[in-house]
DNA sequence: CTGAAAGCGCTTACAG
DNA sequence: CTGAAAGCGCTTACAG
């Protein structure tokens, strides 16, 4: 009996999280009024707003987005799916999206791929279950984009594309940058230039290869297909392939790589072979990484601004959400090249150049010399 | 009239996403039965399950997690808040959490701090609004943890701690590693060893400083406080401070840094000053980065396995969610040091060592020589 | 074994 | 200006 008479002790911090009903009760109003007072829509009596806000504050009330979303049918989150967060480029993309999302009060749900297409779709399914407003991804196959399209979820593909023009795409203008890199090397007098691309065969690498070949064709220099090598994944694999390449009889005098890890493989291989850069081997790469400006000589690199790519992708996604019916857009960012010390005329250029060109002539022609050969 | 007689054309892909009611209707059962058939709980008639699943498949049905969560009162997502995704260490932590989360079917909601405590709390509030099951963070202040604790959200602090033992913590055993690094340098004969730490003053850096001082004390070598320098944020700031330090009259013969970007600053400063490493300056750092094994000489570094840290943090969080009342735990990972070429005896060691020690004696004593001085 | 009903937390017409 | 009611999509006792 005594027990029954005791008032139930309300724990100071209830295990149950405060709901709008708690806030309404504390403020002495209805749930409707509390809701209106809190989110500022609709009329609310003088002084009521303050009272409700104070109650919310006291109770540490944080509205449940799930419930709100359920009612309002809108989402305040975006899904992001990148290949591998441990790769700085992808981390930068995620960082760019994150910054924009924070500014707009959006939550970012992030998944990183295991590389498998099936896992990607599984992650995308979680995004759909979470009812994200849209998805930004660096696709490893067409499957995710197709799945998401079927679910009517707006999609933006970053860095490479699989959708075949069926969704928005944000990339780096790789063909142009690869062309300029090739022209630079051709201008220095290189005739045997190797191109190392990711075995995965992303569209980004296809673009760059096309730009490379175009520049060579324009300069009238035939491309030796044995010098276009696909390798990966991972630095170790790249190093092995580079070792084969550089040690062979028809070794190139210059290498262009399409990713930082490919350049790292070449760098390590060159170190292994005691090949001096740039005297014996010139190196240019896509994807500027911190180490490239720390080593000696520093490596000439095409910067791909992942952060900017992410920011733009988010803008595109938001634009798409606003206007779902508009035709898909492809945004191509111009890449910036950091010219550093890893390129020079090929060894024995004076002799090899023969009737074509003297070393001095070459050096006067500058980065775009290759084009004068048209 | 004719119009009214026309059957309404159902769009092939309705704009409205399929709900469980659509699935139930298509399968000719009630919503309750459809729900049971789909999630495997409760009885369901023979053949019914298959029929419902087929209907779900056809309609591309993906259950709404928000609604499910609202009803079940459970969350299938975790919040992660790191300082800056562009810093490889934090990206690694996020990657480790992501991998574990994917395996467990959890979504990861990721925010990266703007560095400001206020923004951090704002992001944490979004996590609470999303009703995440728990939060893992690299805190910049005690505020977030306090806020989250008040909201009864389980928290794990990674890399550093502010909670004062009020929440779970997963860190690298920094004091021990710093002590070993100091012993290594002392063993080589260095007496003027600088310590560069992050100006931010994280607990991680405090630990390392303590380990460093302890090792020096044990070896009977007084620490010159002007050699303990706090700098940041950013490589440029670190480089400037390193320049001052290395150019001064009482310049150190060795430097220990607590982060990759600090080491980068020192490396650049040394390059600026044409200081030869390791002959004129020894360098040891925390936070192994790719460039450290690419430069010449390669840099001796204490590896902090961010990925592993993330994996363990997630495990701890899940453990905490299971057992909310258990006392908080601190997990300290032993750090692994990669000994490379950036350390050597100090310049003029033979002369300077004087009555104390000969260079040869030192080199025979190995990495732990410092301790023999006790 | 199945389905009608209740309810998770919220917001929004709508009636007063 | 306010509050009762409906309803977002889902699941789970519970009655049949």
Query: The domain that contains A300 carries what CATH number?
Result: 3.40.50.2300
**Is B62 an interface residue toward A (CB < 8 Å)?**
yes
Give the β-pairing of B336-338 and B300-303.
antiparallel
Tokens encoding A162 = 């699989």
Q: Which has more confidence, A45 or A216? A: A216
Whether the predicted pLDDT of B236 surpasses 90: yes
> Which range among A171-180, A253-262, B118-127 shows the weakest confidence by mean pLDDT?
B118-127
Half-sphere exposure of A50 (CA within 13 A, CB side): 2
Task: Specify the pLDDT at position B15.
Answer: 65
Whether the predicted pLDDT of A26 surpasses 50: yes
In chain B, the percentage of residues whose pLDDT exceeds 70 is: 89
Mean pLDDT in chain A? 87
What's the sign of the alpha-carbon dihedral B47, B53, B55, B58? negative
Q: Which of A86, A125, A290 sits opposite B291 (nearest CB)?
A: A290
**Is A128 an interface residue toward B (CB < 8 Å)?**
yes
For residue range B3-18, what is the model confidence (pLDDT) as tens digits? 333 333 333 444 678 9
Residue B156 lies in a domain: yes
Quick count: other Cβ atoms within 10 Å of Cβ A215?
25
pLDDT class for B349, splitting at 50, 70, 90? low
The Cα B294–Cα B30 span in angstroms is 64
Q: Which residue is nearest to nucleotide D3 (CA to C1')?
A: A30
Quick count: other Cβ atoms within 10 Å of Cβ B54?
13
Cα Dmax for chain A: 113
Same domain (yes/no): A35, A132: no
How many angstroms is C1' of D12 away from CA of A67? 19
For residue range B137-166, what is the model confidence (pLDDT) as tens digits? 999 889 999 999 999 999 999 999 986 788
Residue A68 lies in a domain: no
> Which range among A1-15, A131-145, A158-172, B347-361 shows the weakest confidence by mean pLDDT?
A1-15
Taking alpha carbons only, the member of A190, A220, A195 closest to residue A210 is: A195
Same domain (yes/no): A246, A345: yes
Task: Specify the pLDDT at position A356.
Answer: 35
Rounded to the nearest 5 degrees, what angle is found at the Cα of B336, between the Cα atoms of B330 and B341? 150
* Segment (H or E) for A303: strand A300-303
Residue A372 lies in a domain: no
Whether the predicted pLDDT of A86 surpasses 70: yes
**Is B57 an interface residue toward A (CB < 8 Å)?**
no
Whether the predicted pLDDT of A9 surpasses 50: no
Q: How many domains does chain B have?
A: 3
Tokens encoding B66 = 């928000």
The Cα B110–Cα B132 span in angstroms is 11
Same domain (yes/no): A139, A263: no
pLDDT class for A368, splitting at 50, 70, 90? very low
Task: Specify the pLDDT at position B260.
Answer: 95
DSSP A343: -
pLDDT class for A10, splitting at 50, 70, 90? very low
pLDDT class for A15, splitting at 50, 70, 90? low
For residue range A195-243, what is the model confidence (pLDDT) as tens digits? 999 999 999 999 999 999 999 999 999 999 999 999 979 999 999 999 9
**Is A289 an interface residue toward B (CB < 8 Å)?**
yes
Task: Report the residue of chain A nearest B152, measured CA to CA.
Answer: A15
**Is B276 an interface residue toward A (CB < 8 Å)?**
no
What's the sign of the alpha-carbon dihedral B263, B268, B272, B277? positive
Residue A114 lies in a domain: yes
Same domain (yes/no): A247, A284: yes
What is the average pLDDT across B175-198?
Answer: 97
The Cα A110–Cα A77 span in angstroms is 10
Quick count: other Cβ atoms within 10 Å of Cβ A141?
14
Whether the predicted pLDDT of B106 surpasses 70: yes
Task: Specify the pLDDT at position A56.
Answer: 94
Same domain (yes/no): B95, B150: yes
Residue A222 makes CB contacts below 8 A (sequence gap 6+) with A216
Q: Which has more confidence, A371 or B17? A: B17
Same domain (yes/no): B156, B77: yes
Give the β-pairing of A300-303 and A282-286.
parallel
How many angstroms is C1' of C15 away from CA of A54? 29
For residue range B268-291, what is the model confidence (pLDDT) as tens digits? 999 999 999 999 999 999 999 999
Residue B369 lies in a domain: no
Same domain (yes/no): B13, B50: yes
Give the β-pairing of A300-303 and A336-338.
antiparallel
Same domain (yes/no): A245, A256: yes
Residue A146 lies in a domain: yes
Whether the predicted pLDDT of A371 surpasses 60: no
| Mutation target among B19, B66, B125, B340 for the A interface, most CBs of A within 10 A | B66
Q: Between the CA atoms of A361, A367, A370 and A374, what dihedral angle is there, to the nearest 10 degrees?
A: -100
Question: Residue A48: which CATH number?
Answer: 1.10.260.40
Same domain (yes/no): B347, B223: yes
Same domain (yes/no): B264, B253: yes
Taking alpha carbons only, the member of A211, A371, A177, A170 closest to residue A285 is: A177
Taking alpha carbons only, the member of A126, A108, A148 closest to residue A314 is: A108
pLDDT class for B47, splitting at 50, 70, 90? confident
Same domain (yes/no): B214, B224: yes
For B:63-92, CB contacts with A below 8 A are: 63-67, 69-70, 77, 84-86, 88, 91-92
Same domain (yes/no): B94, B147: yes
Residue B370 lies in a domain: no
Here the contacts of B294-298 (C-beta below 8 Å, separation 24 or greater) are B294/A264, B294/A267, B294/A268, B294/A291, B294/A294, B294/A295, B295/A291, B295/A294, B295/A295, B295/A296, B295/B267, B296/A295, B296/A296, B296/B341, B297/B340, B297/B341, B297/B342, B298/B340, B298/B341, B298/B342
pLDDT class for A83, splitting at 50, 70, 90? very high
Contact B68, B49 (CB under 8 A): no
Q: Whole-prediction pTM value?
A: 0.87
Domain of B312 in residue numbering reads as 73-172+307-329
Task: Specify the pLDDT at position A248.
Answer: 83
Q: Which of B60, B88, B98 sits opposite A110 (nearest CB)?
A: B98
Whether the predicted pLDDT of B98 surpasses 90: yes
Residue B19 lies in a domain: yes
């Amino acid at each position: 009996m005594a027990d029954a008479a005791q008032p139930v002790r309300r724990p100071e911090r209830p295990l149950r999280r405060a709901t709008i009903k708690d806030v309404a009760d504390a403020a002495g109003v209805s749930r409707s009024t509390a809701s209106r007072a809190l989110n500022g829509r609709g009329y609310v009596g003088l002084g009521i707003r303050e009272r409700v806000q104070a109650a919310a504050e006291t109770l540490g009330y944080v509205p449940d987005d799930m419930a709100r979303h359920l009612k309002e049918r809108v989402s305040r989150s975006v899904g992001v799916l990148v290949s591998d967060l441990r790769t700085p480029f992808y981390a930068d993309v995620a960082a760019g999206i994150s910054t924009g999302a924070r500014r707009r009060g959006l939550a970012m749900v992030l998944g990183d791929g295991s590389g498998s297409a099936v896992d990607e779709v599984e992650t995308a399914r979680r995004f759909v279950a979470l009812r994200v407003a849209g998805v930004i991804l660096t696709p490893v196959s067409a499957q995710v984009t197709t799945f998401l399209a079927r679910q009517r979820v707006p999609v933006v593909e970053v860095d490479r594309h699989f959708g075949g023009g069926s969704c928005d795409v944000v990339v780096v203008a790789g063909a142009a940058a690869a062309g300029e890199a090739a022209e630079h090397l051709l201008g220095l007098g290189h005739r045997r230039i190797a191109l190392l691309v990711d075995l995965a065969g992303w569209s980004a690498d296809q673009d760059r290869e096309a730009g490379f070949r175009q520049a060579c064709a324009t300069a009238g220099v035939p491309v030796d297909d044995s010098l276009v090598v696909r390798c990966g994944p991972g630095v170790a694999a790249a190093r092995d392939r580079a070792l084969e390449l550089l040690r062979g009889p028809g070794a190139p005098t210059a290498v262009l790589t399409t990713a930082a890890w490919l350049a790292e493989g070449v760098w390590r291989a060159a170190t292994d072979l005691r090949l001096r850069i740039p005297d014996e081997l010139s190196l240019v790469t896509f994807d500027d990484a911190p180490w490239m400006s720390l080593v000696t000589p520093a490596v000439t690199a095409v910067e791909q601004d992942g952060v900017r790519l992410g920011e733009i992708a988010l803008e595109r996604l938001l634009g798409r959400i606003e206007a779902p019916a508009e035709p898909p857009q492809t945004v191509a960012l111009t890449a910036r090249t950091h010219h550093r010390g890893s390129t020079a005329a090929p060894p024995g250029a004076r002799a090899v150049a023969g009737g074509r060109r003297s070393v001095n002539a070459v050096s006067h022609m500058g980065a775009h010399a290759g084009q004068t050969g048209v």
